[in-house]
Amino acid sequence: MFVACMCALAGCASPNLPTTEPPTVINDVPVNAPEWQGRLSLRIQSDPATSMSAGFLLRGEATYGRLDLYSPLGTTLAALRWTPSTVQLQQGGQLQRFDSLDELTEQATGAALPVHALFDWLNGVPSMAPGWQADLSQLPQGLLIAQRVSPTPTVHLRIKLD
Protein backbone atom coordinates (compact mmCIF):
# COMPACT_ATOMS: atom_id res chain seq x y z
CA MET A 1 0.00 0.00 0.00
CA PHE A 2 2.80 2.42 0.98
CA VAL A 3 4.66 1.70 -2.28
CA ALA A 4 1.49 2.27 -4.28
CA CYS A 5 0.91 5.65 -2.58
CA MET A 6 4.52 6.70 -3.23
CA CYS A 7 4.22 5.75 -6.89
CA ALA A 8 0.99 7.70 -7.18
CA LEU A 9 2.57 10.77 -5.56
CA ALA A 10 5.64 10.51 -7.77
CA GLY A 11 3.37 10.51 -10.79
CA CYS A 12 1.96 13.88 -9.63
CA ALA A 13 5.38 15.47 -9.27
CA SER A 14 6.60 17.74 -12.01
CA PRO A 15 10.17 18.69 -12.81
CA ASN A 16 11.43 22.18 -11.94
CA LEU A 17 11.49 23.78 -15.37
CA PRO A 18 13.03 27.20 -15.86
CA THR A 19 10.48 29.96 -15.80
CA THR A 20 10.11 32.32 -18.71
CA GLU A 21 8.24 34.92 -16.68
CA PRO A 22 10.10 38.15 -16.06
CA PRO A 23 11.13 38.86 -12.46
CA THR A 24 8.89 40.92 -10.21
CA VAL A 25 9.97 44.49 -10.88
CA ILE A 26 9.29 47.62 -8.83
CA ASN A 27 10.50 51.00 -10.14
CA ASP A 28 12.44 49.29 -12.96
CA VAL A 29 14.43 47.10 -10.51
CA PRO A 30 13.85 43.40 -9.80
CA VAL A 31 12.76 42.67 -6.24
CA ASN A 32 15.77 41.44 -4.18
CA ALA A 33 18.19 42.78 -6.82
CA PRO A 34 21.77 43.49 -5.75
CA GLU A 35 22.86 47.06 -5.17
CA TRP A 36 26.19 48.88 -5.12
CA GLN A 37 27.06 52.43 -4.16
CA GLY A 38 30.16 54.55 -4.02
CA ARG A 39 32.13 56.85 -6.31
CA LEU A 40 32.56 56.45 -10.04
CA SER A 41 35.16 58.29 -12.09
CA LEU A 42 35.67 58.17 -15.81
CA ARG A 43 38.56 59.63 -17.81
CA ILE A 44 38.38 59.75 -21.60
CA GLN A 45 41.70 60.24 -23.41
CA SER A 46 40.17 62.35 -26.18
CA ASP A 47 41.54 65.63 -27.52
CA PRO A 48 41.02 67.43 -25.22
CA ALA A 49 40.78 64.80 -22.49
CA THR A 50 37.52 64.78 -20.53
CA SER A 51 36.58 63.33 -17.20
CA MET A 52 33.62 62.99 -14.90
CA SER A 53 33.23 61.92 -11.33
CA ALA A 54 30.07 61.25 -9.36
CA GLY A 55 28.61 59.37 -6.49
CA PHE A 56 26.48 56.50 -7.69
CA LEU A 57 23.85 53.99 -6.69
CA LEU A 58 23.54 51.00 -9.03
CA ARG A 59 20.63 48.59 -8.57
CA GLY A 60 19.34 45.65 -10.52
CA GLU A 61 20.97 43.63 -13.22
CA ALA A 62 21.92 43.89 -16.87
CA THR A 63 18.31 43.34 -18.00
CA TYR A 64 16.44 45.53 -15.50
CA GLY A 65 18.31 48.22 -13.66
CA ARG A 66 18.92 51.76 -12.62
CA LEU A 67 21.97 53.88 -12.10
CA ASP A 68 21.68 57.17 -10.24
CA LEU A 69 24.59 59.62 -10.42
CA TYR A 70 25.03 62.24 -7.69
CA SER A 71 27.04 65.43 -7.22
CA PRO A 72 29.30 65.79 -4.16
CA LEU A 73 26.41 67.66 -2.48
CA GLY A 74 24.02 64.77 -3.13
CA THR A 75 22.05 66.37 -5.96
CA THR A 76 20.91 63.89 -8.62
CA LEU A 77 22.89 64.57 -11.79
CA ALA A 78 21.30 61.81 -13.87
CA ALA A 79 18.98 58.85 -13.45
CA LEU A 80 19.51 56.00 -15.93
CA ARG A 81 16.82 53.30 -16.20
CA TRP A 82 16.59 50.23 -18.39
CA THR A 83 14.27 47.29 -18.97
CA PRO A 84 14.01 44.96 -21.97
CA SER A 85 11.61 47.47 -23.57
CA THR A 86 12.82 50.86 -22.31
CA VAL A 87 16.19 52.60 -22.02
CA GLN A 88 15.95 56.13 -20.66
CA LEU A 89 17.81 58.99 -19.05
CA GLN A 90 16.31 61.60 -16.77
CA GLN A 91 18.60 64.60 -16.50
CA GLY A 92 17.93 68.25 -15.84
CA GLY A 93 14.17 67.74 -15.77
CA GLN A 94 14.16 66.12 -19.22
CA LEU A 95 13.47 62.51 -20.09
CA GLN A 96 15.30 61.02 -23.08
CA ARG A 97 14.83 57.55 -24.56
CA PHE A 98 17.56 55.53 -26.26
CA ASP A 99 17.82 52.40 -28.39
CA SER A 100 20.61 50.79 -26.35
CA LEU A 101 22.49 50.83 -23.07
CA ASP A 102 25.62 51.93 -24.95
CA GLU A 103 23.84 55.05 -26.23
CA LEU A 104 22.39 55.72 -22.77
CA THR A 105 25.70 55.45 -20.91
CA GLU A 106 27.54 57.46 -23.55
CA GLN A 107 25.04 60.30 -23.23
CA ALA A 108 25.18 60.24 -19.42
CA THR A 109 28.93 59.77 -18.89
CA GLY A 110 30.68 60.58 -22.16
CA ALA A 111 31.59 56.95 -22.94
CA ALA A 112 29.66 53.78 -23.73
CA LEU A 113 30.05 51.53 -20.69
CA PRO A 114 29.85 47.71 -20.78
CA VAL A 115 26.84 47.45 -18.45
CA HIS A 116 26.42 43.68 -18.85
CA ALA A 117 30.06 43.04 -17.93
CA LEU A 118 29.97 45.68 -15.19
CA PHE A 119 27.45 43.65 -13.20
CA ASP A 120 29.67 40.58 -13.55
CA TRP A 121 32.77 42.52 -12.53
CA LEU A 122 31.07 43.92 -9.43
CA ASN A 123 30.13 40.35 -8.52
CA GLY A 124 33.77 39.29 -8.93
CA VAL A 125 33.21 37.46 -12.22
CA PRO A 126 35.92 38.21 -14.83
CA SER A 127 33.53 38.63 -17.73
CA MET A 128 34.73 39.69 -21.17
CA ALA A 129 33.57 42.91 -22.82
CA PRO A 130 34.82 43.78 -26.32
CA GLY A 131 37.68 46.27 -26.07
CA TRP A 132 37.64 46.38 -22.25
CA GLN A 133 40.09 45.05 -19.66
CA ALA A 134 39.02 44.86 -16.02
CA ASP A 135 41.24 44.54 -12.97
CA LEU A 136 39.27 42.75 -10.25
CA SER A 137 42.28 42.15 -7.98
CA GLN A 138 41.34 45.01 -5.64
CA LEU A 139 37.61 44.26 -5.56
CA PRO A 140 37.85 42.77 -2.01
CA GLN A 141 39.02 46.25 -0.93
CA GLY A 142 36.09 47.83 -2.80
CA LEU A 143 37.97 49.02 -5.89
CA LEU A 144 37.22 48.12 -9.49
CA ILE A 145 39.40 49.46 -12.30
CA ALA A 146 38.62 48.92 -15.98
CA GLN A 147 40.00 50.33 -19.19
CA ARG A 148 38.67 50.44 -22.73
CA VAL A 149 41.55 50.09 -25.14
CA SER A 150 39.50 49.86 -28.32
CA PRO A 151 37.92 51.59 -30.01
CA THR A 152 39.79 54.79 -29.30
CA PRO A 153 39.79 57.00 -27.37
CA THR A 154 41.02 55.07 -24.35
CA VAL A 155 38.59 55.19 -21.41
CA HIS A 156 39.59 54.66 -17.78
CA LEU A 157 36.82 53.63 -15.38
CA ARG A 158 37.37 53.58 -11.63
CA ILE A 159 34.72 52.52 -9.14
CA LYS A 160 35.24 52.83 -5.39
CA LEU A 161 32.54 51.04 -3.44
CA ASP A 162 31.34 52.30 -0.06
pLDDT one-digit tens code per residue, 5-21:
334 433 444 344 444 45
pTM score, whole prediction:
0.79
**Residue spans of beta strands (DSSP E) within the chain:** 25-26, 29-30, 35-44, 50-60, 65-70, 76-82, 87-91, 94-97, 132-135, 143-148, 155-161
Domain ranges across the chain: 27-161
Q: 27-161, superfamily in CATH?
A: Lipoprotein localisation LolA/LolB/LppX (2.50.20.10)
Quickly state the pLDDT bin for 32 (edges 50, 70, 90): confident
Backbone angles phi, psi at 4, to 5 degrees: -65, -40
What is the DSSP-derived secondary structure letter of residue 139?
Answer: G
Q: Is the peptide bond before 30 cis (omega within 30 degrees of 0)?
A: no
What is the arithmetic mean of pLDDT over 81-97? 95
